[in-house]
Amino acid sequence: MLWELPLMPQQASTIAHKVDALYLFLWGMTAFFTLLIFALILVFAVKYKRGKVADRSNPPDTDHKLEAVWIVVPLAISLVIFGWATAIFFEQVRPPADAVEYFATGKQWMWKFQSPEGKREVNELHVPKGRNIKVTATSEDVLHDLFFPAFRTKADVLPGRYTNVWFNATKAGTYHIFCAEYCGMQHSLMIGKVIVMEPQDYERWLTTASSGTAGQTAAAGDETPAQAGERLFTQHGCQTCHQGSSGALGPALAGVSGAEVELQNGEKVKADDDYLRESILNSSAKIVKGYQAVMPNFKGQISEEDVMSLIAYIKAQK
């Protein structure tokens, strides 16, 4: 191990080689300009060394054409890089519509993951090869950052909000997960492994591996997030107000995800995951039009993971 000197990280996602191509191009450009400057300095340094006979007559003071060249050329190169890099960025930050959703919760100093099939893991994430996977993440305390070097992507993980990372793994194997945002004492131990498996191996793993190393809820078993959400929905008494019948205290929740909600103050908001999360934990922040502010704030009573399950359940009700 000691004397191997790696130069490039493993490429294990559909975007890895695209990021690498840009990276190598930029090194090429850096080498070109640095060597150009070095060469010019060297030539002048030798030719015009004090004590050396050379033509020093009429030295130019300034040259607008030259200045224009070295403003326009770097600008043009910059714009090319900008366009190229932005195209990659759009791919990194926009998960494909068919991506399957995994959940991650960061806390000092561990990662908790949950697969759509309901597997719960700590600091390990098993995923099938060749599928678009979106990891929706939040933090229970400070900032963290979910970083998959082999997939060339990362995102900060914030308390009070959802962010996501997506990838499509191309090579079976085990790769690093790092926390890349400083989060206190054991920041460098907030690491894990992503294990990419052939789809059939993954199916087998789902049925054999025992789950729930850190399941908040003892009964969690292998129920999917939506199933867990349904159970929690009853457990916390949500259905008493949200049973969906007319005259209920709270609005029906089927189909609310992604819809536009009109608030009491006339404002209209899109019911994305962040909105649903806020409606559960801090419902008094935004009151739906036509309803009373009677829903209790569940902050501190429902864990971030359970909120994710509840949202999965709400989304599943079409």
Partner 1 sequence: METASTISTTTAPTTMPGAANGVFEMPKVTYLNAQEGIKSWLLTGDHKRIAILYLISISVFFALGGVFASLIRIELLTPGPELDAEMYNRAFTAHGIIMVFMFLIPAIPAVLGNFLLPIMIGARDLAFPKVNLLSWYLYIIGGALTMSAMVIGGVDTGWTFYTPYSTTYSQSYVFLTGLGIFIMGFSSITTGLNFVITTHKMRAPGMTWSRLPLFVWSQYATSLVMLLGTPVIAITVVLLAAERVFGVGIFNPNLGGDPVLFQHLFWFYSHPAVYIMILPAMGVISELIAAFSRRRVFGYSFVAFSSLAIAIFGFLVWGHHLFVSGQSAYAGIIFSILSFIVAIPSAVKVFNWTTTLYKGSISYETPMLYALAFIGLFAIGGLTGLFCAALGLDVHITDTYFIIAHFHYVMVGSTVIAYLGGIHYWWPKMTGRGYPEFWGKLSALLIYVGFNLTFFPQFILGYLGMPRRYHVYPPEYQVLNILSTAGASVLAVGFMMPVFYLLWSLKYGPITGPNPWGAKGLEWETASPPPTFNFDATPIVTEEAYAYDAEADEAAYQAALQQGKR
- Where does this chain bind ligand HEC (CB under 6 A)? 236-238, 240-242, 249-251, 253, 256, 261, 271, 276, 279-280, 283, 286-288, 291-295, 298, 310
Q: What are the structure tokens assigned to 313, written together?
A: 């359940």
Whether residue 150 contacts residue 12, with contact meaning beta carbons closer than 8 Å, is answered with yes
Closest of 251, 120, 123 to residue 194, by C-alpha: 123
To the nearest whole angstrom, how small is the minimum distance from the Cβ of residue 45 to partner 1? 6
> Does residue 119 bind Cu ion (CB under 5 A)?
no
Q: Which of residues 168-207 bind Cu ion (CB under 5 A)?
A: 179, 183, 187, 190
Nearest approach, Cβ of residue 153 and partner 1 (Å): 6
- How many residues sit close enough to partner 1 to count as binding (CB under 8 A)? 91
Radius of gyration of the chain (CA): 27
Contact 178, 127 (CB under 8 A): no
Q: Please, which residue, 185 or 259, has the CB nearer to partner 1?
A: 185
Q: How far apart are CA 309 and CA 69, in angstroms?
A: 58
Exposed, middle or buried, 201 (CB in 10 Å: 0-12/13-18/19+)? Answer: middle
In the three-class reduction of DSSP (H, G, I as helix; E, B as strand; rest coil), residue 299 is classed as coil
139 versus 283: smaller Cβ distance to ligand HEC: 283
In angstroms, the CA 250 to CA 242 distance is 5
> Which of 37, 249, 252, 293 touches partner 1 by CB under 8 A?
37
Residue 230's binding partner among ligand HEC, partner 1, Cu ion, none (Cβ under 5 to 8 angstroms by kind) is: none
87-106 binders of partner 1 (CB under 8 A): 87-94
Q: Which of 11, 14, 81, 132 binds partner 1 (CB under 8 A)?
A: 81
CB of 12 to ligand HEC, least distance (A): 37
Contact call for residues 308 and 113 (beta carbons, < 8 A): no
Which residue's entry shows tokens 């910059």? 78
Nearer of residues 241 and 263 to partner 1, judged by Cβ: 263
Closer CB to Cu ion, 155 or 179, in the complex: 179
Q: Establish if 209 lies at the interface with partner 1 (CB under 8 A).
A: no
Binding-site partner at residue 294 among partner 1, ligand HEC, Cu ion, none, CB < 5 to 8 Å by type: ligand HEC
Backbone φ and ψ of 110, nearest 5°? -150, 160
Nearest residue (CB) to partner 1, 156 versus 201 = 156
Residue 140: how many other CB atoms lie within 10 Å:
16
| 3-state SS class at 38 | helix
Q: Which residue in the set 104, 110, 121, 181 belongs to the binding site for partner 1 (CB under 8 A)?
A: 181
Closest alpha carbon to 112 in 175, 173, 157:
157
Least distance to Cu ion, CB of residue 182, Å: 6
Q: Which CB, 166 or 313, lies closer to partner 1?
A: 166
Here the tokens at position 227 are 């199933």
Question: Which candidate, 125, 132, 89, places its Cα nearest to that of 106?
Answer: 125
Listed ranges 3-11, 99-107, 113-121, 305-313: which one lies at the site for partner 1 (CB under 8 A): 3-11
Chain residues that interact with Cu ion, rule: CB under 5 A = 144, 179, 183, 187, 190
